[in-house]
Structure 1
Amino acid sequence: MEKLVLTVLGHERPGLIAALSEAVADHGGNWMESQLNVLAGSVAGIVVVEVPRLQGADFREALVELRERVGLTVTTELAPEVGEDEGEVRSVHVVGQDRPGIMSEISSALASWGVTITNLVTFSEETPMADGTVFTAALLITIPPEVDENDVQAVIEGLSGDLMVEFDELDDLADLDDEDGPEDLSSLMREMLNGLGFHDGVDNEFGGGEEDEWDGEDAGAVEGSAAAVEGRASEGEGGGDPARP
């Protein structure tokens, strides 16, 4: 068997995933794991499949035909050998005033400490309390054993005085092992976002139930964060800037 990583992109419409899964099944393949989402009217994601080596060429041709048939673009590559992850897994919540480049700054700060981002969901919401748009990110990260998470938190907070950063250990992560699929991580991400008040569309994006409507409690949670962001910005508080390793 040949293990392949498929990257998928297409305009949202009924039957896209059915067409892809049929192509896998028609060539004796096994759909192993996947993460797919809809953003801005487009379906995008990654699918890992196993296909018999003798079927590999025909399978790739079938994927090319999907673009003409249903408008789905699929690229393939051999799945790399993945070693065992080392380090501590943490969930991170970041809330701050939205601005161009904020995600680049956060990801660069994490990379400077050798931190790996394994899951990421971001939202931008206009809130009256913050007199503008509030940016919220929920991340799962892996911190190298030699790095102190307090230093990582401080360098993110040091990017801007209005950023609020919260690290959580998440006891549930200790129960995950190499055999657990992305559904477990997606469930954890959904719980993280629900805790921030982002119920609207979160379950739908992560394979849960139908899209929910916001209620007063949800709005209060976000506006509470927005008020704190505004306070941090006006006070000019910022985190430390510890020396990078």
Structure 2
Amino acid sequence: MRHVVISFLGKDRTGIVDNLASIIKAHNGNWQTSSMRHLSGHFAGILEVLVGQDQVEQLVAQLQSIDGLNVQCEVSEPTKHTDKTIRLDLTANDRQGIVGEISAVIHKEGGNLVKLVSSQGSAAHSGQTIFKATANIAIEGDDHIDALVSSLENIADDLIVDIIL
């Protein structure tokens, strides 16, 4: 069995997920993990499929031939993280470059950003734009975790970091 990591982007229309799922099923693939979203009139996503070695080429070819959808596929072996994985919930006043600031600190402190989900919203009382993110990070140990959280909190006075072990 092989893992196929699939990313796609196209103008939003009905039936995209059904189309993907039908092709995967036709090649005896098993839909493992996914994240999909409507963004500015487009539909984008990433998913992982487990499929038999004898079906990989045909699956990839058929997915990449979907009209109006830009599909990228990478065939790989699954990997296991040996580091501890933590979740950070981050909240701050929104500003340009905030994701770059956060990712630079994570990298500097030896963390590997495994997953990032971010959004913007309005602060309840002021209406100011707020940045919110949930980050899953693989990191070596408790000493590194403490240093990471401390470094993140030092980015700005308004950055709140909640850690979930």
TM range (shorter): 0.7 to 0.9
Runs of at least 5 residues in structure 1 that lack an aligned partner in the other structure: 170-245
Highest relative contact order (Cα 8 Å, sep 6+), 1 or 2? 2
Do the aligned partners of residues 57 and 140 (structure 1) sit closer, same or farther apart at CA in structure 2, a change above 3 Å counting?
Answer: closer
TM-score (norm 1): 0.60
- The alpha-carbon deviation at position 147 of structure 1 amounts to 3.3
Task: Indicate whether 1:107 and 2:100 are aligned.
Answer: no
- The alpha-carbon deviation at position 55 of structure 1 amounts to 3.1
Kindly report which structure 2 residues correspond to 1:38-77, keeping only aligned pairs within 5 A, or say none. 38-66=38-66, 68=67, 71-77=68-74
Q: How many residues align?
A: 165
Higher CA-based Rg: 1
Partner residue of 1:156?
A: 152
TM-score (norm 2): 0.84
1:156-193 deviation line (CA, Å, top 9, x unaligned): 11111222222233xxxxxxxxxxxxxxxxxxxxxxxx
Amino acid of the structure 2 residue aligned with 1:156: L
Runs of at least 5 residues in structure 2 that lack an aligned partner in the other structure: none
Tell me if the contact between 1:97 and 1:130 (Cα under 8 Å) persists in the aligned partners.
no
State which of 105, 112, 124 in structure 2 corresponds to 1:116.
112
- The alpha-carbon deviation at position 112 of structure 1 amounts to 0.7
Amino acid of the structure 2 residue aligned with 1:95: T
Tell me, what secondary structure is at the counterpart of 1:147? helix
Larger relative strand fraction? 2
Q: Write the distance in 1 (CA, Å) between the matches of 2:74 and 2:145.
A: 34
Larger relative helix fraction? 1
Partner residue of 1:185?
A: none
Kindly report which structure 2 residues correspond to 1:3-152, keeping only aligned pairs within 5 A, or say none. 3-66=3-66, 68=67, 71-87=68-84, 89-127=85-123, 129-130=125-126, 132-145=128-141, 147-152=143-148
1:16-47 deviation line (CA, Å, top 9, x unaligned): 01111111122233323322233333222222
Kindly report which structure 2 residues correspond to 1:161-180, keeping only aligned pairs within 5 A, or say none. 161-169=157-165
Tell me, what secondary structure is at the counterpart of 2:79? coil
Partner residue of 1:223?
A: none
Tell me if the contact between 1:94 and 1:163 (Cα under 8 Å) persists in the aligned partners.
yes
Tell me if the contact between 1:113 and 1:147 (Cα under 8 Å) persists in the aligned partners.
no
1:41-69 deviation line (CA, Å, top 9, x unaligned): 32222222233333333322211221x2x
Tell me, what secondary structure is at the counterpart of 2:71? strand
- The alpha-carbon deviation at position 131 of structure 1 amounts to 6.4
Partner residue of 1:211?
A: none
